[in-house]
Amino acid sequence: MAEITVITVQFGNPEDTAVLAGSLAKLDGAESIELIVVDNAAREDSQSRFEALDHSMPYRVRGFSPAGNLYYWGGASFALETIRAEGESPARWVIICNNDITIDEPGFLTSLMALDPARYPIVAPSIVSAATGREQNPLLEEPAGFFKRLKWRIYDTNFAIATAMLGAHGFLTRLRDDRRPAQHEVYAGNFEKNVYAPHGACVILSSQFFARGGVLDTTVPLYAEELTLASDAKKRGFPITFIPRLRVTHFEHSTTGTELTPEKYEMQRRARRHYYSLPKSKTAASHYERR
């Protein structure tokens, strides 16, 4: 069985998946991984594409084609459930990622394998935007405070208000960047820290995450995956550790598009309302917390 399982979810963009797979093949220890591709928009040639990818890589590639679009977290959960149904346990490390990322640091896998799964149940790697050069992790260093949650609740009032808020945010961001170009927050070295919520483009879960009851919340189809993971982690006393030396590049070829549509807005609002409804643990991280 592979030591590291990479699960990526695609929706009609297999070219990005091929680029991701190629980047994995160049890493030290690539033969120790397995790549699972969940195709949420399977076509007649999907299986032949999976087989061709498997034959061209130094590691095993498997393709799963669910009956319908399970979206991101649902697709990853489908892959994990399929593995379990086949009698397998999750690998020592499970990397769940968009297919529009690449991993280019040669020692990424060996650095990951050197970590203790019990000490690091959830790992947030460095995610560098290819478009801006900016660091995208962590999504939230601390739980959202009063004003951020108030902003979310106002945003969730209706579509027109959300559109206006997005327009204002974009204008203020451009104004800020024109006056003071943003610094690239790319970290190096052995620096690491615990954070509240990781960026969802690439999340790493250890075998101990699953062994101790960790789950992917698929109650809503899309959005707020990072927040529900953070809420579940806090409830179970799992630290989420940002480790910058584990670096990936995010090309942000989003299949959902960048424009806010009424359909996308309703899915976002539903996801956040689900997150608001989750019980908030008052217990600090327990024996997992690093001393």
Instruction: Tell me the average pLDDT across 282-291.
Output: 36
Q: What is the pLDDT of residue 176?
A: 61
Integer Cα distance of 285 and 255 in angstroms: 35
Residue 207 lies in a domain: yes
Tell me the whole-structure pTM to 2 decimals: 0.86
Q: Which residue range forms the structural domain that includes residue 56? A: 4-277
Residue 13 lies in a domain: yes
52-59's contacts with Cβ under 8 Å and 24+ in sequence apart are: 53/17, 53/18, 53/21, 57/21, 57/24, 57/25, 57/30, 58/25, 58/30, 58/31, 59/2, 59/24, 59/25, 59/30, 59/31, 59/32, 59/33, 59/34, 59/35
Q: What is the pLDDT of residue 30?
A: 96
| Overall domain count for the chain | 1
Residue 285 lies in a domain: no
Q: How confident is the model at residue 223 (pLDDT cuts 50, 70, 90)?
A: confident
**Each residue of 140-161: pLDDT tens digit?**
999 888 888 888 889 889 999 9
User: Domain containing 168 — which CATH number?
Assistant: 3.90.550.10
Give yes or no for residue 291 having a pLDDT over 60.
no
Residue 282 lies in a domain: no
Integer Cα distance of 36 and 5 in angstroms: 7
Residue 221 lies in a domain: yes
Residue 72 lies in a domain: yes
Instruction: Tell me the average pLDDT across 232-243.
Output: 96
Residue 172 lies in a domain: yes
Residue 290 lies in a domain: no
User: 61-75, 156-170, 241-255, 266-280: which has the minimum mean pLDDT?
Assistant: 266-280
| Other Cβ atoms within 10 Å of 287 Cβ, number | 7
User: 8-12, 15-19, 46-50, 163-167: which has the minimum mean pLDDT?
Assistant: 46-50
